[in-house]
Amino acid sequence: MTRKPKAVERKRGSGVQIVYSILRDDILDLTLPPGSPIDEIQLSERLSMSRTPIREALVRLASEGLVTTLPNRSTVVSNIDFMNLHTFFDAMTLMYRVTTRLAAQCHTPADMDAIRARQVDFAAAVEAQDALAMIATNREFHAVIARAGRNPYYEALCLRLLDEGRRLLRMYYSSFDDQLPKQYVQEHEDLIDAITARDVDRADALASAHADQIVQQIQTLIARDKRQHISL
Amino acid sequence: MTRKPKAVERKRGSGVQIVYSILRDDILDLTLPPGSPIDEIQLSERLSMSRTPIREALVRLASEGLVTTLPNRSTVVSNIDFMNLHTFFDAMTLMYRVTTRLAAQCHTPADMDAIRARQVDFAAAVEAQDALAMIATNREFHAVIARAGRNPYYEALCLRLLDEGRRLLRMYYSSFDDQLPKQYVQEHEDLIDAITARDVDRADALASAHADQIVQQIQTLIARDKRQHISL
DNA sequence: TGTATTTTATTTGTCGACAGAAAATATTTC
DNA sequence: GAAATATTTTCTGTCGACAAATAAAATACA
């Protein structure tokens, strides 16, 4: 006998936030891979709430580009556009540079504390050879730098790109589980030094090089993946 | 006797789009000035539809930053943050540069046709000394350049900034109705030339100078506005 | 008369239900 | 047996209604 889930007492307005967070996480770590249909009714039963807050969460995700709503048909998790990855790399590199520059210009001691804390997490993830944790902590590291830059427009685009990158990296690290490059830890340390010294040009150059490294890393992974597909 | 508006037959799914467009336009041309509360019931009566599609439109506007939802209270049109206008100018300048560069790199003949068509509209608006039309056509001009750049991340940020700028300019031109600067028309022409010639560096330099001009223009208007306020 | 407290009213957040649109399935026709 | 058509099913988009939360009004009290 399937029993209906009880309507748990919840704070008014929290429902949307819960659904949004769950879906977002599932999409970004590929628990919901690109193309997955999202059934509103199924979700509403699983989370024991009406379809209204779920639809609201979906609308928010859609306006962030994480899901695509097909009119009168199910909404699906957005695809990763491999044809135009270069636009992603281009934007990512520029945003790394711009946010790091700004952070070097106008950081506060509290910002530096936050940045260093994220770097500790990142180093730990690399040390533990935990690819998933590395992806997540790298995102947080650059997110706090972007926040320290104090430009909401740049920050928003940077966060969006970091999330998109999280999905992308997750795709390859889950299938290959590579040796995680320890040099990234040193590159982050150098970035922190440049920001601390308020050396804008050096911060810019380091961010640029760091972005190039990551781009190259991803492209290597993609190339290897393609070869593997051909060999089948 | 107040009669209830008839539920007009409408295509399924079009309701949200209608509300979204109306609200968006009203917000951007300051028909709904910053801080205006948006009453869902009132809107639903005026447009003769249920609150559901209206709420969906509001969620979309909120995720674009055009409205702010106060929990359990009315949603209001977002304020213009005059304290941090420099972040807007900074981002606007960079996006002008980046999108113009990319347009110079990878435009097609169709792109150039679209750009030139927008420039004709812009020139006409300036010639007619129609401030509102100038604001709108200027937005479209840079929007098609951004589209020609073919980077969806840059394009999205650029559109957001152009809309924000539309609101800002509208605020001052509505109160002062200035002489509209004819030099902008020539600057646009120069931009088109550089893009057509695929001269990336020149396009970049021109876009940078153009952005600086506009920033200076806005700052002049703001300064004049402040003086006027003090003199009262 | 001014402040604190209770009552009322307004408005949001959530719900269940229904109708319309595709997709999936069954049925007919050749 | 295959293609075309009809039927059913599934799921979205929209609706009206209700309850919680806040703001406004009214009342009590000093």
- How is residue A153 written in tokens? 């427009």
CB B162 within 8 A of CB B118: no
Distance CA B83, CA A167 (A): 35
ipTM of the complex: 0.89
Q: Which two tokens stand for residue B36?
A: 């205006």
The answer to whether the CB of B183 falls within 8 A of the CB of B189 is no
B200 touching chain A per CB within 8 A? no
> How high does pLDDT run on average in chain B?
90
Is the pLDDT score of B1 beyond 90? no
Q: A64, A87, A91, A92: which is closest to A77 by C-alpha?
A: A64
The burial class, CB within 10 Å (0-12 / 13-18 / 19+), for A71 is exposed
Give the closest of A63, A150, A161 to B153, CB-based. Answer: A161
Choose among B59, B154, B161: nearest Cβ to A91. Answer: B154
Maximum distance among all alpha carbons in chain A? 67
Per-residue pLDDT 10s for chain A (232 aa) are: 333 344 456 788 788 999 999 999 999 989 999 999 999 999 999 999 999 999 999 999 999 999 999 999 999 999 999 899 999 999 999 999 999 999 999 999 999 999 999 999 999 998 888 888 888 899 999 999 999 999 999 999 999 999 999 998 888 876 655 566 788 899 999 999 999 999 999 999 999 999 999 898 888 888 887 777 776 6
B106-153 pLDDT per residue, tens: 999 999 999 999 999 999 998 888 888 888 899 999 999 999 999 999
B194-199 average pLDDT score? 97
pLDDT digits (tens, 9 = 90+) for B71-111: 999 999 999 998 999 999 999 999 999 999 999 999 999 99
SS3 of residue B11 by DSSP: coil
Q: How far is CA B202 from the centre of its chain?
A: 26
Protein residue minimizing CA–C1' distance to D19? A12
Gap from B191 CA to chain A (nearest CA, Å): 22
At A178 the pLDDT is 58
- Option in A55, A71, A157 nearest B157 (CB): A157
d(CA B12, CA B51): 15
Q: Are A64 and A157 in contact (CB under 8 A)?
A: no
**Which amino acid, B103?**
A
Q: How far apart are CA A115 and CA A139, in angstroms?
A: 11
Protein residues closer than 7 Å by CB to strand D: A 11-12, 37-41, 51-52, 55, 69, 71-75; B 7, 12-16, 49-53, 56, 71-73
Best CA proximity match to B68, nearest among B86, B81, B84, B51: B81
Band (B17; pLDDT cuts 50, 70, 90): very high
Residue B156's closest CA among A88, A208, A145, A26? A88
The DSSP bridge partners found for residue B68 are B76
Domains along the sequence of chain B with CATH: 14-77 (1.10.10.10), 82-231 (1.20.120.530)
- Token couple for B169: 């300019």
Pairwise CB contact (< 8 Å): B157 & A153? yes
pLDDT at B135: 86
Q: What is the mean pLDDT of residues B25-43?
A: 94
> Among residues A180, A173, A195, A191, which one has the least CA distance to residue A124?
A180
pLDDT surpassing 50 at residue B50: yes
Amino acid letter, residue B168: L
Cβ–Cβ < 8 Å for A170, A29: yes
Token pair in block for residue B52? 């559901």
